[in-house]
């Protein structure tokens, strides 16, 4: 048996141990279960988010992913049924749609802190979370259609992509998508109508 020593802030330790106690699990058992999971699955059971990552960062990243996936869906929708590249395109599109859907689902609550940059007043019931949830519904439609391609695949994907684009533009009004950290500026076009997000 090996001993693992970790450094952890006092307040975080107290909060975590309170949760463990409610579940009847000791800190040693929790660490053992974490290591067991890592050994069995080869990955973490949760996402490690950099401390510097803000809701706005995640929001922008996901919008850029939507902008990349949307034309991919359109491309698959436009392929003839007998096109030799169709199976590979479908597999690639399916993977991207699933990944984006999971990323959105995992981050909807985290992105709730994003404030609208639009100077026009918003109604109290407007919530970006609704648009993100509607987007995952369309991604699920695309995933189901891609998993078992049917004769109406093109129509289903075209419809889903149209809705995704509509939600994308709604969500894009809430934030300046080009106002990214300096480390992410490479390859991003400059927006001439750049505004301070605090406006």
Asked whether the beta carbons of 193 and 113 are under 8 A apart, the reply is no
Q: pLDDT higher for 191 or 8?
A: 8
Q: pLDDT higher for 61 or 122?
A: 61
The yes/no answer on whether domain 55-184 falls in CATH 2.60.40 is: no
Which residues lie closer than 8 Å to 94 by C-beta, 6 or more apart?
143, 146, 147
14-23: average pLDDT: 88
Q: How far is residue 90's CA from residue 149's CA, in Å, rounded to a whole number? A: 9
Mean pLDDT score of the chain, rounded to an integer? 81
The most confident of the ranges 12-21, 123-132, 135-144, 163-172 is: 135-144
Domain 1-46 and domain 55-184, same fold? Reply is no
User: Binning pLDDT at 50, 70 and 90, where does residue 180 land?
Assistant: very low
Q: How far is residue 157's CA from residue 142's CA, in Å, rounded to a whole number? A: 6
User: What pLDDT score does 184 carry?
Assistant: 42
CA contacts within 13 A on the Cβ side of 23: 9
pLDDT tens figures, 121-151:
555 456 788 889 999 999 999 999 999 988 8
Q: Where are the domains of the chain?
A: 1-46, 55-184
Q: Which CATH class is domain 1-46?
A: mainly alpha
Residue identified by tokens 């975590």 is: 16
């Amino acid at each position: 048996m090996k001993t693992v020593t970790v450094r952890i802030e006092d307040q975080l330790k107290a909060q975590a141990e309170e949760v463990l106690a409610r579940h009847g699990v000791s800190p040693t058992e929790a660490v053992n279960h974490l290591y067991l999971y890592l050994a069995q699955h080869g990955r973490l059971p949760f996402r490690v988010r950099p401390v510097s990552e803000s809701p706005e960062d995640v929001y922008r990243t996901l919008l850029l992913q939507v902008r990349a996936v949307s034309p991919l869906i359109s491309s698959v929708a436009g392929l003839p049924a007998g096109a030799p590249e169709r199976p590979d395109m479908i597999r690639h599109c399916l993977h991207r749609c699933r990944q984006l859907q999971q990323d959105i689902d995992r981050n909807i609550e985290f992105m709730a802190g994003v404030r609208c940059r639009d100077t026009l007043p918003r109604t109290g019931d407007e919530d970006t979370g609704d648009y993100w949830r509607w987007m995952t519904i369309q991604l699920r439609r695309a995933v189901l259609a891609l998993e078992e391609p049917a004769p109406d695949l093109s129509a289903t994907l075209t419809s889903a992509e149209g809705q995704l684009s509509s939600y994308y533009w709604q969500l894009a009004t809430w934030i300046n998508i080009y106002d990214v950290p300096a480390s992410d500026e490479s390859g991003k076009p400059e927006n001439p109508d750049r505004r301070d997000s605090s406006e």
